[in-house]
Structure 1
Amino acid sequence: MRVLLVGGGGREHALSRSIAASPLLTRLWAAPGNPGIAEHAECVPIGVEDIPALVAFARDNAADLVVVGPEAPLTLGLADALAAAGIVCFGPSAAAARLEGSKAFCREVTSAAGVPGAEWARFDDPAAARAYVRAKGAPIVVKADGLAAGKGVVVAATVGEAEAAIADIMEARVHGASGATVVIEECLTGQEVSFFALCDGTDAVPLAAAQDHKRVGDGDTGPNTGGMGAYSPPPVFNDAMRDDVMNRIIHPTLAEMARRGTPFRGVLFAGLMVTATGPRLIEFNVRFGDPECQAILMRLDGDLLAALDAACRGRLRDLALGWSADPSLVVVMAARGYPGTPAKGGTIAGLDRAAAIPGARVFQAGTARRADGTLVAQGGRVLGIGARAPTLRAARDAAYAAVDAVEWPDGFCRRDIGSRAL
């Protein structure tokens, strides 16, 4: 198969590594890719939101399948444009991608489907939103309705914090047009779990679960980020819970989306809260998570490309994937200043030494190469340093040993990834 992978982050580096290992693959391109992805694919300088150029490239190069990593091109209609050109795409239509693109839409769908989740309300007027918060009290969750690169959610411990979040999102527009509407939700308590299922519009099969670390600092302190590390599988999430999530969350959502005429095809990422009464939905994403993707794909022993193709062609019932029982863990190394303004241009060395640690893998995200070949930081979350081992403690030890082999003065990471499970 000739495959075009859309994206250029750590998630796409993990996807490119797994796709490149498939015996089905004949050629792999990545748009735009990054220096790590270039080890597995031919990188082409096309931005992820340049829909016409992506479609033209896939058509001109006779791509058999386009695999979309990030959410933005999906919400912009890349899958629809590819379908109109007769090209198969792993990823939902723009209408189905609203499950992530609009938190209010997601809650409308899941409420209609009877999915267990948080009590919620939608507001277009900041004064009404503030009045609701005062009536409900805190803790409470304030979310920008649209996409905000994983940073549009504020878990407010006080009413004052919630009101400040409403002002930032709706009035200061710190997330742009995504904050024109907010969704305010009950603050669920328990352990968060990221769960992934492959969907073909009517059927779904479970992939794997992971636990992410959203806060920037050790001990879950500081602001939310796109994710500072993850591990898989989470001890709190057993097979019975997986089946419960499939039966009460994934399948009802697929049925409701099909009923609305917008069947969902691709990977459905359920952000869950495991509460005292069972798992409840926090939100849906319509793509692999980052860094969860790196963690779960380190455990995949089956053919990822065959699985993605089966989801696109309605053949999930015939799919058999193998998963290692060995746990995995990935630590994100971010640039100084993240999640605010990250320091860019700092040189990075030692990745070969990091990758040589037994069981370790290095995923590049926000990196670039200078003309002289020097690797430099070019983003906020820059590297994902992971490991798979017979125990989670051994995976954590290997991952941090690999982190310590990296030479990057501007980089930092959390030192407690996986501590809850351990």
Structure 2
Amino acid sequence: MKVLVIGSGGREHAMVWKIAQSPLVEEVFCAPGNAGIAGQATCVSLKVDDIDGLLAFAQQKQIDLTVVGPELPLTLGVVDRFRAAGLTIFGATRDAAQIEGSKSFCKDLMAKYGVPTASYGTFTDCDEAVAFIKQQGAPIVVKADGLAAGKGVILADTVEQAVAAVESILCEGAFGSAGARVVIEEFLEGEEASFLAFTDGERIVPLASSQDHKAAYDGDTGPNTGGMGAYSPAPVVTPEIHDKIIEQVLKPTIAGMAAEGCAYSSILYAGLMIKDGELKVLEFNARFGDPETQPLLARLKSDIVPVLLACARGDLSGVELEWHDKAAVCVVMASGGYPGDYAKGHAIDGLDAAAGIEDLVVFHAGTTLQDDSIVTAGGRVLGVTGLGTTVAEAIERAYQGVKTINWKDVHYRSDIGRKALNR
């Protein structure tokens, strides 16, 4: 069969890498892809928001399965368009993708169906938002309502910081139309975890637990990013917590989506805060996480293609996932200055040497080919993913790879996975 993956990041490279291993697959295409993906798939010069172009390509090449990586094409209705044309596609419909595309929709859904989450308020008026902040006090969280590439969440330590965030988003348009509305919510303490599960709208097939590292710098300091690293399994998700996530979070959310007329059949990602054996939902994503996908797929023993097909066809009955016993750790190597301004076009050294390290996979994110050299082309550049019999071993292997690779002004965190060691 022929498979098309939509996207160009580390998540999509991990998907292509895993899909290409399937005996069911003859050819993999990726639109637009990157320099690393080009080694395992045919890259196609189509942007992720070019729905007409993607549909025409899939029809022309007689693609048997399309897999959507990023959130933007989901919210633009790529799944609806493909299905209307009779094509098999894995991803959330436009209505279902609201769970990520609108934080106010997501919070209202959780409030209505009893899913544990932080208390909140939703605002389009700057003065009302500021008054709410002053009434609530700090620390407090300010979120742009729409999609902001993982950067639309501001954890404000003071009232002044929160007010500045509201003014930047609502009044000055820092995130454009994505910031036409803000959600302001209670600051939650605890340890974060990511929990992903396939669902066909009724059945739930959970993936292994994982933990992302959102902050730019060591010790979870600095601005929020799209994610600076992840590991799996995450010991904070105990068997008891695992069961609570299924019963208190996934089941009522999936039932609630169906009741609201936007049945959910895809991968559902719950970002959680866990403290003292209790949990609350920080956010939902309507797609695989990045960088959680990299360690998760590195650990997945099962062929992923039959699972993606079953989910796309709306019937997960009989589907089970098998996992390798090894732990996996992904360290994101980013451009200096990310998530702010950064330079592009720096030549990357050491990729061949890293490719020779056992139990190490380097997933490309922001890379491109330039005169036969691989150069930086984005904020998050590589996801260096190590495997080991323990998380400690996987950390060691990942950082062995990181230290082998270099470019001008490279930046990465040195503490990815440390929380697992502390447990």
State if a TM-score over 0.5 links the two structures: yes
Q: Which moved more, 1:146-155 or 1:345-354?
A: 345-354
Q: Which residue of 2 aligns with 1:59?
A: 59
CA apart distance, 1:378: 0.5
- Residue 242 of structure 1: aligned partner: 242
Residue in structure 2 matched with residue 374 of structure 1 by the alignment: 373
Q: Which residue of 2 aligns with 1:419?
A: 418
Q: Deviations over 1:60-95 (max 9, x none)?
A: 111111100000000011001101111111111111
Q: What residue is the counterpart of 2:14 in the other structure?
A: 14
Equivalents in 2 of 1:226, 1:266: separation in Å? 21
Query: Who is 1:153 aligned against?
Result: 153
Instruction: Give the C-alpha shift of residue 156 in structure 1.
Output: 0.9
The equivalent of 1:260 in structure 2 is 260
CA distance in 2, matches of 1:120, 1:205: 30
Q: What secondary structure is seen at the aligned counterpart in 2 of 1:208?
A: coil
1:220 Cα deviation from its structure 2 partner: 1.2
CA distance in 1, matches of 2:361, 2:67: 22
Counterpart check, 1:388 vs 2:379: no
Question: AA paired with 1:197?
Answer: A
Query: In the alignment, residue 221 of structure 2 is paired with which amino acid?
Result: T
- Structure 2-normalised TM-score? 0.98
1:162-201 alignment to 2 at 5 Å?
162-201=162-201
Shift of 1:45: 0.5
In the TM superposition, what is the alpha-carbon distance from 1:219 to its structure 2 partner? 1.2
Give the aligned length: 421
Indicate if the aligned counterparts of 1:330 and 1:387 stay in contact, CA closer than 8 A.
yes
The Cα of 1:115 is off from its aligned counterpart by 0.5
> Which residue number corresponds to residue 107 of structure 1?
107
Helix, strand or coil at the partner of 1:298: helix
**Contact between 2:205 and 2:320, CA under 8 Å: does it hold in 1?**
no
Are positions 1:401 and 2:361 aligned together? no
Q: Which runs of 5+ in 2 are unaligned?
A: none
- Secondary structure at the residue paired with 2:211? strand
Over residues 5-53 of structure 1, what are the superposed CA-to-partner deviations in whole Å (9 max), with x where a residue is unaligned? 0001100000000001111112211001111111211111100000000
Which residue of structure 1 aligns with residue 96 of structure 2?
Answer: 96
Q: Distance in 2 between matches of 1:61 and 1:361?
A: 30
Which residue in the other structure is 1:284 paired with? 284
> Does structure 1 conserve the Cα–Cα contact (< 8 Å) formed by 2:265 and 2:314?
no
Equivalent pairs: percent with the same residue?
50
Whether contact under 8 Å (2:241, 2:277) holds in the other structure is no
* Aligned-partner Cα distance in 1 for 2:265–2:25: 21
Q: Distance in 1 between matches of 2:129 and 2:276?
A: 29
Paired position in structure 1 for 2:125: 125
Q: Secondary structure at the match of 2:49?
A: coil
Q: Which residue of structure 2 lines up, in the alignment, with residue 319 of structure 1?
A: 319
SS at match of 1:408: coil
Q: Are 1:34 and 1:43, in contact at CA under 8 Å, matched by a contact in 2? A: yes
Q: Which amino acid aligns with 1:212?
A: D
Shift of 1:250: 0.7
Residue aligning to 1:28: 28
In 1, the alpha carbon distance for the partners of 2:340 and 2:334 equals 11
In structure 1, the residue corresponding to 2:95 is in which secondary structure? Answer: coil
**Structure 2 equivalent of residue 74 of structure 1:** 74
CA distances 1:147-193 after superposition (whole Å, capped 9, x unpaired): 00000001111111111110111111111111110001111111000
- For the Cα contact (< 8 Å) 1:231–1:418, is it kept in 2? yes
CA shift for structure 1 position 295: 1.3
Measured against aligned partners, the alpha-carbon deviations of 1:200-228 in whole angstroms (never above 9, x if no partner) come to 12222101221111111111111111111
* 1:325-364 equivalent positions in 2, closer than 5 A: 325-364=325-364
